Amino acid sequence: MASSHDRKLSDADARIIERFSDALWMERGLSANTLNSYQSDLRHFAMWLDEQAATAMLQAKRDQLLGYLAAGVDAGVRPRTSARRLSALRQFFHWAVREQLIGGDPTAQIEAPRLGRPLPKSLSETEVEALLEAPELETAEGLRDRTMLEVLYATGLRVSELVGLRPDQLSLTQGLVRVIGKGGKERLVPLGDEAVSWIERFIKGARVELLNGRPCNALFPTRRGDGMTRQAFWYRIKKHALTAGIRQTLSPHTLRHAFATHLVNHGADLRVVQLLLGHSSLSTTQIYTHVARERLQALHAEHHPRG
């Protein structure tokens, strides 16, 4: 039985979409869901085209395709949806050219919409405070975890950089840590007074207890006397997040993203954030620019008399 979409299509468009779908299934073995997605996008275009220009799909020109995509943008369609629709149309018209149903591909000169990189999930400043206060300071492990979280939030280190830290990378008098990042690149990152205070407290007490006289190069050892793995620390973060009542799904980089987001929120220059994070390119850091825009918009709405 024809769907409600098919009843609105011309017989010619319905037949050509069906023929294209059969060819896709035969040639590429696509799943039913993928085929349905292609069909849905092509039907949507065919109905728009019929309403706007009373033209069948195989007669569509480049300007009409651009008009269709622009109409979607005006209606609030997301870039990812526009890109998916264009991809379906490209597949269809490539096939139509190959089958000699049309002489030229009208999608050939159309660029796909740029897809912005999604901003990594972060934590609010209140949530970070709750996470920092979650470890039990009465135990050596708890004090170690609190210190590691403080350092992570103060510096924006990668988890691998944090668990790999050695005491000789710290200059507590200067309040700096020398980080060896990706590709062996070194950078100096400020620790801040709070993190320095926790490190000093940890080194004098809990670290000595954890090592129990054994030598260890790791700044943050386990009770076995060796360095902690990324996986072990990640397990500890999830445990403390549960204690802190944080419901959102965290990633190993959540505190690194919180570090960058909160710096930008408080007016830090993006190039400074780039240096602190150890990004080789500013384009990687630019995912945080819309945080700054959102902050400015919120401030404008709050303080401007016509906000």
> Rounded to an integer, what is the distance from CA 231 to the centroid of its chain?
20
139 falls within a domain: yes
- Residues that are catalytic: 158, 182, 253, 256, 279, 288
Contact 111, 145 (CB under 8 A): no
* 104 in any annotated domain: no
Q: For the domain that residue 191 is a member of, what is the CATH number?
A: 1.10.443.10
Look at the chain and report how many structural domains it folds into.
2
CB 175 within 8 A of CB 193: yes
Cα separation, 47 vs 57, in Å, equals: 9
**Dist. CA 5–CA 10, nearest whole Å:** 10
* Alpha-helical segments (H) within the chain: 4-8, 11-28, 32-53, 62-74, 79-98, 125-132, 140-155, 159-163, 193-204, 206-211, 230-243, 254-265, 270-277, 282-285, 289-303
The pLDDT assigned to 55 comes to: 77
Confirm if 57 and 46 have CB atoms less than 8 A apart: yes
The one-letter amino acid at 72: G
Residues 165 and 61 in one domain: no
Q: Is residue 120 part of a domain?
A: no
Specify the amino acid at residue 304: H
Would 116 be classed as within a structural domain? no
| Residue 106 belongs to some domain of the structure | no
Return the pLDDT at 7.
45
Per-residue pLDDT of the chain (307 residues; tens, 9 = 90+): 333 344 467 888 888 899 988 888 887 776 777 788 888 999 999 998 888 777 788 888 888 888 888 788 777 777 778 888 888 999 899 999 999 999 888 888 777 665 555 555 678 889 999 999 999 999 999 999 999 999 999 998 988 899 999 999 999 999 999 988 777 788 889 998 999 999 999 999 999 999 999 999 999 999 999 999 988 998 899 899 999 999 887 877 888 888 888 887 777 777 777 878 877 666 666 666 655 555 566 666 766 676 5
One domain for residues 162 and 260: yes
Tell me, what's the pLDDT at 6? 43
Residue 107 lies in a domain: no
Q: How many other C-beta atoms lie within 10 A of the C-beta of residue 46? A: 24
Compute the half-sphere exposure of residue 60: CA atoms within 13 Å on the CB side of its CA. Answer: 29
Domain around 252: 125-303
* 199/273 same-domain check: yes
Q: What is the CATH number of the domain that holds 81?
A: 1.10.150
Specify whether 195 is located in the same domain as 64. Answer: no
Is 6 in contact with 28 (CB distance < 8 Å)? no
Helix axes 125-132, 230-243, angle to 10 degrees: 110
Domain boundary at 63, 98, 133, which?
98
Collapsing DSSP states into helix, strand and coil, what is residue 190?
Answer: strand
Cα(59)–Cα(16) distance, rounded to whole angstroms? 12
Contact between 161 and 124 under an 8 Å Cβ cutoff? The reply is no
The half-sphere exposure of 216 on its side-chain side, counting CA atoms within 13 A, is 23
Entry pTM: 0.57
* Nearest-angstrom CA–CA distance, 169 and 186: 11
Q: In this predicted structure, what is the pLDDT of residue 169?
A: 95
So what's the pLDDT on residue 12?
Answer: 86
